[in-house]
């Protein structure tokens, strides 16, 4: 299963007011484990950067002036995304901006059906909140000390770790690692082997009561298919 964890930075809050994407960061997950493949780009928004937005992500108009336009990076971005599900925190924000950029260059927009919104997942799991990315990192013990400002690449990396916690992926991988010490792996299946089978937990009285009950059900009772031959013979019906 291939998924892409994605984050953007923008010039503002509303793409319908002329605000643009200025940074895109993506991390590829295969079976919810980072594969090492990433995508990152800064973009020239073709407009001035408001001071309020620059204070959040630190990207100035001067820094972005020499970066490529979205139209120049669209093919590379779409090729990296492929048909994968997109894992995004507060997905309605990023999706609106990406689709506005795609619509601007007359390219097909990204469908909402392929979105996994980690904010929705977090609210379901932790309804009392808070569920911002920093809050979730703190909750799950994920080191976000490098996150002095918002940045699409770092935020995507952190979100990949948060997502693993939200869906139980980290615990599952840890459990698999422990199993390999004492068990045999067959493909993706972990098989335990026991030195001796478990003994029956039934008492002698319970076993006798069960056999007596089966004896009253007639010779065609399906329960007889599950009786050991010796016990079935003891009922006198075979």
**Residues designated catalytic:** 150
Tell me how far apart the alpha carbons of residues 124 and 47 are, in angstroms, rounded to a whole number.
38
Residue 37: how many CB atoms within 10 A of its CB?
A: 13
Q: What letters, b where the CB count within 10 A reaches 16 and e where it falls short, cover 71-81?
A: eebbeebeebb
Alpha helices in 13-168 (DSSP H): 51-57, 61-64, 70-81, 91-104, 118-125, 133-140, 152-166
Tell me how far apart the alpha carbons of residues 72 and 79 are, in angstroms, rounded to a whole number.
13
Q: Which two tokens mark 117?
A: 């919104």
Comparing CA positions, the residue from 160, 70, 158, 174 lying closest to residue 116 is 160
């Amino acid at each position: 299963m291939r998924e892409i964890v994605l984050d953007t930075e923008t010039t503002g809050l509303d793409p319908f007011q002329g605000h643009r994407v200025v940074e895109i960061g993506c991390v590829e997950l295969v079976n919810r484990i980072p594969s090492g493949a990433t995508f990152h780009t800064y973009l020239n928004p073709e407009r001035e950067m408001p001071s309020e937005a620059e204070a959040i992500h630190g990207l100035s108009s001067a820094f972005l002036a020499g970066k490529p336009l979205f139209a120049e990076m669209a093919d590379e971005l779409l090729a990296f995304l492929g048909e994968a599900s997109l894992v995004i925190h507060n997905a309605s924000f990023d999706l609106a901006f990406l689709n506005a950029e795609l619509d601007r260059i007359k390219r097909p927009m990204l469908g909402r059906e392929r979105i996994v919104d980690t904010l929705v997942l977090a609210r379901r799991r932790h309804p009392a909140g808070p569920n911002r990315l920093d809050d979730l990192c703190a909750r799950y013990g994920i080191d976000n000390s490098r996150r002095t400002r918002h940045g699409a690449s770092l935020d995507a990396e952190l979100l990949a770790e948060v997502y693993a916690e939200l869906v139980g992926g980290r615990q599952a991988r840890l459990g698999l690692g422990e199993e390999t010490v004492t068990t045999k792996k067959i493909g993706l299946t972990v098989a335990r082997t026991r030195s001796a089978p478990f003994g029956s937990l039934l008492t002698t009285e319970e076993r006798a009561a069960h056999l007596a009950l089966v004896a009253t059900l007639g010779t065609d009772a399906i329960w007889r298919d599950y009786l050991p031959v010796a016990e079935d013979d003891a009922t006198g019906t075979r």
